[in-house]
Chains A and B, each alone.
Chain A
Amino acid sequence: MPILVNLALGLLFGVGLVVSGMSNPAKVLNFLDLFGSFDPSLAFVMGGAVIVAFIGFRLARMQAKPVLAPAFQLPTRRDIDARLIVGPALFGIGWGLGGFCPGPALTALGLGAAGTLVFVPAMLAGMWAARMLAERT
């Protein structure tokens, strides 16, 4: 059951990425090009996603536990440390270079563009390196 739910929710998330245009790097790069061919569409993606997710998290807060799992697993940290500055800074540079963040890159995998087929393994390697480095420090 949880596996089917995750498959369905991944599909829903991915359909959202494709329908919204976020899975197209050209659209992402134009959103980030404030002083050039600016395309504000992605602000609507973020807005729509945050509003619906906000309602979901509000509803979740009223529940003692999730429907299919024994407990909520939500982040509780509130401190701002160096990793929270360095990580997103590097992520944003990569996002601006390729136009892909992790979700859209995965939805693009099956479309088979050469750039995607190079990007996704590099991304997974970077993720793995960050996990290994985090465990040593």
Chain B
Amino acid sequence: MTEFTPIASLVGGMLIGLSAALLVLLEGRIAGISGIAGRLLPPWRDGLFAQRLAFVAGLVAAPFLVAAATGTPVTQTVSANLALMAAAGLLVGFGSVWGGGCTSGHGVCGLARLSPRSVVATLIFMSTGFLTVFVMRHVIGG
């Protein structure tokens, strides 16, 4: 079980939205993490490599900033089934770039732009996400 955290989740969500809003207002770009991370690898076509690397560096540094500000280390529970995590990583990486976005690009920015493509993409990845957890926890596992 994890605790229901509506306030922290709403505030955190608004910070995510603020980052996406500022990125489009200042830089004119979509805060899509799969697009940003996927273009860190070659070939590099536009001159935005340093910007993307800086954004990702900010993401990586974030839990340390939160830990320093709150005085409590950030805790999380990650599966130790490494074969499962490797398969999950491949599917997340391939699927998000193949579909032109992930939870941030389609789910946050796309819905906020009222993009019909992003509405379709979000409904599909939510559905297969629900289905996968159902199968893993209630059909295969227990």
Ordered by A's residue number, 14 sampled pairs between the chains whose C-beta atoms are within 8 Å are A8-B58, A13-B31, A20-B10, A39-B1, A42-B9, A45-B16, A49-B16, A53-B16, A60-B21, A87-B96, A90-B99, A92-B131, A106-B56, A110-B63
Q: From B104, B109, B137, give the contact of A57 (CB < 8 A).
A: B109
Q: A residues within 8 A CB of B31?
A: 9, 13, 53
Nearest neighbor of B128 in chain A, beta-carbon distance: A92
Interface code B76-117, partner A: CB below 8 Å = 1, 0 otherwise?
A: 111111101111111111111111101110111101110111
Let me know if B82 and A115 touch, CB within 8 A. yes
Let me know if B2 and A130 touch, CB within 8 A. no
- A-B CB contacts (within 8 Å), total count: 495
Let me know if B98 and A130 touch, CB within 8 A. yes
Q: From A3, A21, A48, give the contact of B51 (CB < 8 A).
A: A3
Chain A interface size range: 35 or more
Let me know if A22 and B12 touch, CB within 8 A. yes
Chain B interface size range: 35 or more
Let me know if B2 and A37 touch, CB within 8 A. yes
Q: B residues within 8 A CB of A52?
A: 13-14, 16-18, 20-21
**Most-contacted residue by chain A among B61, B63, B85, B132 (CB, 10 A):** B85
Let me know if B132 and A57 touch, CB within 8 A. no
8 Å CB interface, A60-79 against B:
60, 63, 65-69, 71-75, 77-79
Let me know if A103 and B98 touch, CB within 8 A. no
Let me know if A15 and B76 touch, CB within 8 A. no
Q: From B65, B79, B107, B130, give the contact of A25 (CB < 8 A).
A: B79
- Within the complex, what minimum Cβ distance (angstroms) separates B114 from chain A? 8
Q: B residues within 8 A CB of A48?
A: 9-14, 16-17
Binding site for A on B (CB under 8 A): 1-6, 8-31, 33-34, 37-41, 50-52, 54-66, 74-82, 84-100, 102-104, 106-109, 111-113, 115-117, 120-122, 124-134, 136-138
Given A41-B9, A88-B128, A105-B92, answer yes or no on A9-B17 (Cβ-Cβ < 8 Å). no
Given A47-B13, A56-B22, A97-B132, answer yes or no on A83-B100 (Cβ-Cβ < 8 Å). yes
Let me know if A96 and B25 touch, CB within 8 A. no
- Within the complex, what minimum Cβ distance (angstroms) separates B14 from chain A? 4
Given A7-B57, A83-B98, A115-B79, answer yes or no on A50-B92 (Cβ-Cβ < 8 Å). no
Let me know if B95 and A49 touch, CB within 8 A. no
Q: From B25, B33, B79, B82, give the contact of A103 (CB < 8 A).
A: B33
Let me know if B90 and A126 touch, CB within 8 A. yes
Given A126-B92, A131-B97, answer yes or no on A106-B59 (Cβ-Cβ < 8 Å). yes
**Most-contacted residue by chain B among A9, A42, A47 (CB, 10 A):** A9
